[in-house]
A and B are shown apart, each in its own frame.
Chain A
Amino acid sequence: MKLHYFLSALVLALLASACGDDGDAEGTIVVTAYGEEFVEEGLTTDDGWDVQFDRFDVSFGGVSIADAIVTAATTVDVAVPSAGQGHEIGRVTVPTGTYDDARFTITRVAIEGRAQKDGVEKRFALAFDDAVSYSLCETSTRVRKGAEARFEITIHADHLFFDSRASAEPNLLFQALADADADDDDVITEDELEAAGLGAYDPGSDGADIDNLWDYLERLITEIGHADGEAHCVATRIVD
């Protein structure tokens, strides 16, 4: 009978240990930033504009995982082709285990590019300075002894062209941005976007105060950070 109690305790101990680390064993987490093919290769919007990014600089104010700081601050141009691998922004050696505590802050996004349709080319060079902290990402990173695990900060650049912040299947549009070029010099500026109304765009349940395209883009840019592809994180704007 005592053996039964012993086996019960043993099973409980084994089950408990399965969720923890493996003694002093360690592995490595490689953290990357990836802009997906939308940024590296360009995209075609639903209204027929071919968009290419010459630069898509994402500035990180800090990245941590497994209670370890991966990098304090760095800027990555995710428009540079990476063959689908993303750009390494740091690595940490941590005890084996499974971690779901990744956090990162994006302090600035600066983009430069052009869109073409029917022989017309519109260029843009825009910078967004709202800092956003991402946490509680719906993913986890398993670190095995002596092995490399990956945590990818995925930048969803296509979100910049969403016509809705509320729809599960928004359209990918550029025409409204092209039309914002009020002086028709083929360069879309922040001032022009600020003067352009939203039209049929839907800024979402919390979008009552968004009434121009610049404010709309500023809000969209705060939602481009994801993890390991499609995993969502809780995004919190950092107010000065």
Chain B
Amino acid sequence: MRLTPMRTALPLACALFLWSAFAGCEGAAEPSRVTLPLRADASGLSPAESDLGYAVEITEAKLSVADFTFATPGELHTRWLRLTSVARAHPGHYEGGSVIGELRGRFVVDFMASEGTLGTATMLVGTYASANFRFETAEDDAAPPLAGHTALLRGRASRDDASVTFTFVVDAPAMRELVGAPFEATLTETSGGALGFRLLSYDPRSDATLFDGIDFFALDADEAGEIIVDPTSEGAASEAYFELRRRLLAHDFYDVRHLPEE
């Protein structure tokens, strides 16, 4: 029996449809989503004692960042829907997994401000393990001295009944991403509340503080009781700058928490 083109095409199309349906079954149903506000959370910035014995109190902490993404545990490589992409990273405790949540845009995060949200994150229902974002340079219209830089930290360091105030202004390398900040949460369609983004003055996992290795008094060469360290600093101040920058660029000193509705 000779087949007409139509008679040949029909079963072929059916077969291809069935095959593609089975092959692509992991993306066959769109997962449920939930939207949650992401806000700065100051609870990680409590006073901490550094390895050099300074009691460090942060009074101002601002950070210019962009494009938060939130990922599942493990080294998954499943490509989901439009929202998702595969996170690929160097090995680390919280790295890897598939991105199933996001909040795009540029933000200046004022950690000490108790009000306001950065935006509304769109999250697929599921279990999360990590958060990622990109460091940015604050626009010129940001309040100085943050304008044109990535981070501003102000505070007071005290030891042996003496103290200095400090200002650190830090630049991140261009397009520098932070990968693998802890974000351990399971979100359902009914999850409410908010996501809290924290900068941590103390990392309990490594028992290290943000200002470890920085000898504040040694930086106060003129004994004026005030030190200012920025990307143009030289000598010991430059070493302190890079010491702090290394930690500010590390996932140990950030996390994201799900804050259920009160």
Contacts and interface: CB of A to CB of B under 8 A. Distances in A.
Interface of A: 3-5, 7-9, 11-12, 15, 136, 164-168, 197-200, 202-211, 222-223, 232, 234-237
B203 A236 contact: no
Given A7-B8, A8-B15, A12-B15, A205 B177 contact: yes
A200 B3 CA distance: 72
A5 B213 CA distance: 74
A11 B7 CA distance: 14
Contacts of B239: 197, 199
A206 B8 contact: no
Given A4-B10, A7-B12, A202-B173, A223 B90 contact: yes
Contact of A12 (B7, B19, B176, B246): B19
Interface of B: 1, 3, 7-8, 10-12, 14-16, 18-19, 75, 77, 88-93, 95-96, 173, 175-180, 203, 206, 208, 213, 239, 242-243, 246-247, 249-253
B93 A202 contact: no
B91 A208 contact: no
Contacts of A8: 11-12, 14-15, 18
Given A202-B176, A205-B92, A211 B246 contact: yes
Contacts of A237: 91
Contacts, number: 103
Residue with the highest number of chain A CB atoms closer than 10 Å, among B1, B18, B239, B242: B242
A203 B246 contact: yes
Chain A, interface SS category: loop
A9 to B, nearest CB: 8
Contacts of A7: 8, 11-12, 15
Contact of A164 (B96, B173, B206): B173
A185 B179 CA distance: 40
A210 B16 CA distance: 53
B242 A234 contact: no
A15 B251 contact: no
A15 to B, nearest CB: 5
B15 A15 contact: yes
Given A5-B11, A11-B12, A165-B90, A205 B173 contact: no
10 contacts: A5-B11, A7-B8, A12-B18, A202-B173, A205-B250, A206-B95, A206-B179, A209-B206, A222-B91, A234-B96
A236 to B, nearest CB: 6
A206 B75 CA distance: 16
Contacts of A200: 242
A206 B15 contact: no
B175 A206 contact: no
Contacts of B15: 7-9, 11-12, 15
Given A7-B15, A8-B11, A205-B178, 10 more contacts: A5-B11, A9-B15, A11-B16, A11-B19, A12-B15, A136-B77, A205-B89, A205-B177, A206-B251, A232-B88
A136 B16 CA distance: 29
A51 B180 CA distance: 34
Contacts of B14: 8
B79 to A, nearest CB: 13
